[in-house]
């Protein structure tokens, strides 16, 4: 399968002249490749679409083009990938380098020209083939810690240029050494009804040989990880198979990942365990509205029928061929229940909301509209709005949400009003929203507890420090944003001219190169999406 996948992607050429192209990938770094993150591992609300290469040189690692081609996209972000480069290759792939500290000079100049033209920090700049051609091995930048990164590393991706599917870089030879097989730490068993309602959970150590259940249907899952040679990081698992009495009933593979299917992760894991206990369990059954292409096989959607004792084997394998097999016998207990449904008619059609159709729920002067596919299975989604306290409850935070849904609340007149989501730890996130004709409107991509209040507080600006190369400031809004709410907007000028800078939203730190400053006074203007503004004047 791996060889076929590689052959398919190599066979895609951008034009007929590329048919004789013979280059193979080289490593983006000169040192030994050691990974701190693997392809397909389960992150918060998304799959990891690349590999994370650990920093080697304390002074900074140089990065190189893995194949000849051209720089097709340059992106600068305060979060996400930070400073990133996309290089398109003649073999039908695009390589992506993210979280860079510095760009190569020519690339940096192109970005700064575009930033000054648009007078904006965050840019997403697409370039034609003739602007920045590169040869294999050309220097393109320095490994860094920009964007949503908690430590210096290179996030590296290979994508199919035409479909933009992310391809597991380990399908190619980048010098990654792996002789360790994936490990299963714990089993988890969901006692289910035929509508995938969870009746009971049981967590068992991996050494468990047998388990007795009184449920007619169960779903099996596990907590586990993979590791690379010489590293202690717990990474994702590339290949998962479940056999019931020697019959393959479930198969998931993470050789490619679609960016359009990221949130299916919340249907592949035990979402409640992740939210409540910050513990990640792979679930080896497929909810009705989970259409992830990574699930290759799921007989009866992975629902296991317990009529008699059965033997379950879970086979975990990595792309280097290392594998481990874990076995568990399931025994039917006395008085086993034919739990086709928990409540309602015998077909279970009145259990909660049908996920395949749209639903509008109302409470007092508020309503939400759920599109088809917003939830993954029939579920009880209840809504309650308190017009006096301006609080909203939509289902619970432990219910996963696949799509944005529309919220509308009338009798809201203050244009500064925002909606805030309070997570299970009590931390609040500003989700934004607008007021139009005395009606509050917002799109939300999570369930749980919310409240409305005006945002009248401007972001804060304070001096951080000055080095021989940079001037640094702390810039922070009063509440973290989430969903579709934008980050703070920053404008730096000297003598009325826009000045380039870099802002890392994760740490709230802004940096300006001293070489870009020439004048008597730096003016920093910061505003949030409700136009609350703060200005700092700094003498140079």
Position 231 scores a pLDDT of 75
For 191-240, the pLDDT digits (tens) are: 998 889 899 999 999 999 999 998 889 999 999 999 888 777 788 899 99
517 neighbors 463 (Cβ within 8 angstroms):
no
Tell me the pLDDT tens digit for each residue of 103-148: 999 999 999 999 999 999 999 999 999 999 999 999 999 999 999 9
pLDDT digit string, tens, across residues 424-478: 888 999 999 999 999 999 999 999 999 999 999 999 999 999 999 999 999 999 8
Q: Place 17 in a pLDDT band, splitting at 50, 70 and 90.
A: very low
Query: What pLDDT sits at residue 337?
Result: 62
> Which of 87 and 173 is assigned the larger pLDDT?
87
Task: Please tell me the pTM assigned to this model.
Answer: 0.88
**Of 59-63, 292-296, 417-421, minimum mean pLDDT range:** 59-63
| pLDDT band per the 50, 70, 90 thresholds, residue 43 | confident
Q: How many CB atoms lie within 10 A of CB 176?
A: 20
pLDDT at 174: 80
DSSP states of 128-157: -TTTSEE-TT-EEEE-B--SS-SSSEEEEE
Which percentage of the chain shows pLDDT scores above 70? 93
Binned at pLDDT 50, 70 and 90, residue 45 comes out as confident
Give φ, ψ of 7 to 5 degrees. -65, -40
Residue 52 has pLDDT above 80, yes or no: yes
What value does the mean pLDDT take over residues 182-186? 96
Q: From CA 377, how far away is CA 26, in angstroms rounded?
A: 45
Which DSSP string do the residues of 331-372 spell out, in sequence order? Answer: EEEEEEE--S-SSSSTT-TTSSB-TTS-EEEEETTEEEEEPT
pLDDT computed for residue 338 by the predictor: 59
Give the pLDDT mean for 326-346: 68
Query: Above 60 in pLDDT, residue 343?
Result: no
Under 8 Å between Cβ of 420 and 442: no
Q: How confident is the model at residue 355 (pLDDT cuts 50, 70, 90)?
A: very high
* pLDDT tens-place string over residues 504-526: 999 999 999 999 998 899 999 99
Which tokens in the block code for residue 492? 């730096």
**pLDDT band at residue 350 under the 50/70/90 scheme:** low
Decide: residue 345, CB within 10 A, 0-12 exposed, 13-18 middle, 19+ buried: exposed
Q: Where are the beta strands (DSSP E) in 129-288?
A: 133-134, 139-142, 153-160, 166-167, 183-192, 198-205, 210-215, 217-225, 239-244, 247-253, 256-257, 282-283
């Amino acid at each position: 399968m791996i060889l076929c996948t590689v052959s398919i992607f190599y066979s895609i050429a951008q034009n007929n002249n590329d048919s004789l192209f013979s280059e193979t990938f080289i490593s983006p770094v000169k040192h030994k490749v050691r990974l701190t993150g693997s392809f397909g591992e389960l992150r918060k609300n998304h799959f990891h679409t690349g590999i994370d290469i650990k920093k080697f040189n304390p002074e900074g690692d140089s990065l190189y083009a893995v194949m000849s081609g051209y720089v097709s996209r340059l992106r600068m972000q305060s979060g996400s990938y930070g400073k990133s480069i996309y290089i398109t290759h003649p073999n039908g792939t695009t390589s992506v380098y993210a979280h860079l500290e510095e760009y190569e000079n020519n690339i940096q100049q192109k970005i700064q020209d575009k930033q000054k033209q648009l007078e904006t920090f965050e840019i997403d700049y697409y370039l034609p083939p003739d602007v920045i051609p590169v040869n294999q091995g050309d220097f393109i930048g320095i490994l860094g810690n920009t964007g949503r990164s908690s430590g210096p590393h290179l996030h590296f991706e290979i994508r199919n240029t035409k479909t933009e599917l992310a391809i597991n870089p380990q399908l190619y030879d980048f010098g990654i050494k792996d002789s360790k097989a994936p490990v299963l730490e714990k089993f988890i068993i969901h006692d289910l009804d035929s509508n995938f309602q969870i009746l009971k959970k049981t967590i068992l150590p991996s050494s468990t040989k047998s388990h007795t259940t009184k449920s007619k249907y169960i779903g099996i899952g596990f907590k586990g990880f993979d590791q690379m040679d010489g590293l202690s990081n717990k990474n994702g698992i590339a290949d998962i198979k479940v056999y019931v009495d020697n019959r393959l009933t479930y198969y998931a593979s993470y050789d490619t990942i679609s960016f359009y299917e990221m949130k299916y992760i919340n249907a592949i894991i035990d979402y409640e365990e992740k939210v409540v206990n910050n513990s990640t369990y792979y679930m080896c059954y497929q909810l009705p509205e989970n259409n992830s292409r990574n699930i290759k096989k799921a007989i009866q959607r992975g629902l296991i029928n317990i009529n008699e004792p059965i033997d379950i084997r879970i086979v975990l394998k990595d792309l280097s061929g290392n594998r481990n097999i874990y076995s568990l016998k399931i025994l039917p207990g006395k008085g086993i229940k034919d739990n086709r449904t928990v409540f309602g008619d015998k077909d279970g059609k009145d259990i909660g909301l049908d996920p395949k159709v749209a639903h509008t729920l109302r409470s007092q002067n508020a309503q939400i509209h759920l599109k088809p596919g917003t939830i993954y299975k029939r579920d009880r989604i209840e809504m309650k709005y308190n017009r006096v306290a301006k609080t909203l409850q939509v289902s619970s935070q432990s219910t996963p949400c696949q799509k944005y849904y529309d919220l509308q609340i009338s009798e809201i007149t203050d244009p500064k009003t925002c909606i805030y989501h309070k997570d299970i730890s009590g931390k609040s996130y500003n989700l934004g929203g607008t007021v139009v004709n005395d009606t509050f409107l917002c799109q939300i991509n999570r369930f749980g507890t919310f409240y409305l209040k005006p945002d009248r507080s401007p972001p804060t600006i304070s001096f951080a420090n000055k080095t021989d190369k940079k001037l640094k400031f702390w810039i922070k809004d009063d509440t973290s944003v989430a969903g579709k709410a934008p980050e703070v907007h920053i404008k730096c000028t000297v003598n009325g001219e826009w000045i380039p800078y870099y802002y890392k939203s994760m740490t709230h730190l802004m940096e300006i190169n001293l070489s870009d400053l020439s004048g008597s006074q730096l003016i920093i203007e910061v505003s949030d999406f409700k136009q609350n503004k703060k200005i700092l004047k700094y003498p140079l």
